[in-house]
């Protein structure tokens, strides 16, 4: 199952305490202080891994803790530093501090690496407290505590192109047709209620396509799949909006889906859109002309007509996608 959200708790390691120690050598009856410093606590890092596609492993573990620093020792020996811990996440992961609501980092590409919680500092040994008036100090300091945080992680896919439309618009079939056997990311074994990804190769130029699960009226308010998948269209450079000729009112459906996107995120109104009339093999030329005119009346400039089943218009669609994304 594809997991694109997780809440986890992280804890950096605490610093080790300093040592209160004195030289003990056979011919040095009054040896001075020689307590070493404590080791620093390990930090918590987050790193992007391109071969990860969800947060299932992170969500299952839930709690991540780095090692504590070890105490200092005599003979001015420094305590061992605690081991860092690294949390691996997929590209497009946003991390939010749950206590403040602040976005801490937006991890887009490998090898992005970010320190999310800093380890505590090791304490000072008593050697630091020697002075002309205090030659045998027993003072030392404890290490400081490592940072602790509760985090919300969410994956927003970094696709070049988002396929949108109602559940019956034919997006899954089109994704398979566009990516075919050249798919590098592949059509992941998700259910139909989860986003699929594929890679389209057009004359050697590769473009990532995300099939966003069918949107419905009210999605921006959480109805149906709601917010869970709308977030995956926020990063795309091109929206390919499928309108099926099978719909009772294709024009109305187009306007409703378009409005849902804008209600969810007004910035989506600025994303380039390519409208695709799908399943044209099911209607005659008169019906197709009527729908095309209705969409033109809405001010839509880029329209392509296809039948993925019969491979009609697929070449023209690929060319249009390539042309509209060349400047991205």
Predicted confidence at residue 112, as pLDDT, reads: 72
Domain check: are 145 and 165 in the same one?
Answer: no
Domain check: are 91 and 168 in the same one?
Answer: no
What pTM was computed for the model? 0.73
Domain check: are 110 and 232 in the same one?
Answer: no
The domain spanning residue 39 has which CATH number? 2.70.210.12
Give CA–CA dist 104/163, Å, rounded: 29
Average pLDDT for the chain: 86
The domain spanning residue 218 has which CATH number? 3.40.50.300
Let me know: does 154 contact 5? Beta carbons within 8 Å.
yes
Domain check: are 25 and 75 in the same one?
Answer: yes
CA atoms within 13 A on the CB side of 250: 27
Q: What is Dmax (Cα atoms) for the chain?
A: 109
Domain check: are 270 and 217 in the same one?
Answer: yes
- Going 211 to 213 to 218 to 220, the CA torsion angle's sign is negative
Q: How many CB atoms lie within 10 A of CB 328?
A: 11
Domain check: are 317 and 189 in the same one?
Answer: yes
Mean pLDDT within 124-136: 93
Q: Provide the domain count of the chain.
A: 2
Let me know: does 286 contact 203? Beta carbons within 8 Å.
no
Which residue range(s) make up the domain with 90?
Answer: 5-155
Give CA–CA dist 178/141, Å, rounded: 64
- 296 CB-near residues (< 8 Å, 6+ apart): 303
| Percent of the chain whose predicted confidence (pLDDT) is above 90 | 54
Q: At which of 155, 181, 207 does a domain end?
A: 155
Domain check: are 230 and 262 in the same one?
Answer: yes
Three-class SS state of 88: strand
Domain check: are 17 and 86 in the same one?
Answer: yes
Three-class SS state of 263: helix
Let me know: does 133 contact 70? Beta carbons within 8 Å.
no
Closest Cα partner for 125 from 187, 63, 73?
Answer: 73
Mean pLDDT within 293-316: 91
Let me know: does 90 contact 103? Beta carbons within 8 Å.
no
Mean pLDDT within 272-277: 95
Domain check: are 119 and 240 in the same one?
Answer: no
Q: At which of 128, 155, 182 does a domain end?
A: 155
Domain check: are 20 and 127 in the same one?
Answer: yes
Domain check: are 166 and 203 in the same one?
Answer: yes
């Amino acid at each position: 199952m594809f997991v694109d959200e997780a809440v986890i708790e992280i804890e950096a390691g605490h610093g080790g305490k300093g040592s209160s120690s004195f030289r003990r050598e056979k011919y040095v009856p009054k040896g001075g202080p020689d307590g070493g410093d404590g080791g620093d606590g390990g930090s918590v890092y987050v790193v992007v891994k391109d071969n990860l596609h969800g947060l299932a492993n992170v969500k299952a573990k839930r709690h991540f803790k780095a090692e504590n620093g070890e105490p200092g020792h005599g003979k001015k020996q420094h305590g061992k530093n605690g081991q860092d811990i690294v949390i691996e996440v997929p590209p497009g992961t946003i991390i939010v501090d749950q206590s403040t609501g602040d976005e801490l980092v937006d991890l887009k590409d490998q090898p992005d690496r970010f320190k999310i919680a800093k380890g505590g500092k090791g304490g000072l040994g008593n050697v630091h407290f020697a002075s002309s008036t205090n030659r045998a100090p027993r003072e030392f300091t404890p290490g400081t505590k490592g940072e602790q945080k509760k985090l919300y992680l969410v994956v927003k896919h970094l696709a070049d192109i988002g396929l949108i439309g109602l559940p019956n618009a034919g997006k899954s079939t089109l994704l398979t047709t566009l990516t075919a056997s050249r798919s590098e990311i592949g059509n992941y074994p998700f259910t139909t209620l989860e986003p699929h990804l594929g890679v389209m190769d057009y004359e050697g130029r590769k473009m990532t396509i995300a099939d966003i699960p069918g949107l419905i009226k009210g999605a921006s308010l959480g109805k149906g799949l709601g917010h869970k998948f709308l977030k995956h269209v926020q990063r795309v450079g091109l929206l390919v909006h499928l309108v099926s000729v099978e719909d009772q009112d294709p024009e109305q459906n187009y306007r409703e889906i378009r409005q849902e996107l804008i209600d969810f995120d007004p910035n989506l109104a600025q994303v380039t859109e390519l409208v695709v009339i799908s399943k044209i093999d099911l209607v005659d030329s008169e019906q197709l002309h009527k729908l095309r005119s209705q969409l033109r009346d809405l001010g839509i400039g880029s329209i392509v007509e296809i039948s993925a089943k019969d491979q009609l218009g697929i070449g023209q669609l690929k060319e249009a996608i390539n042309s509209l994304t060349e400047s991205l």
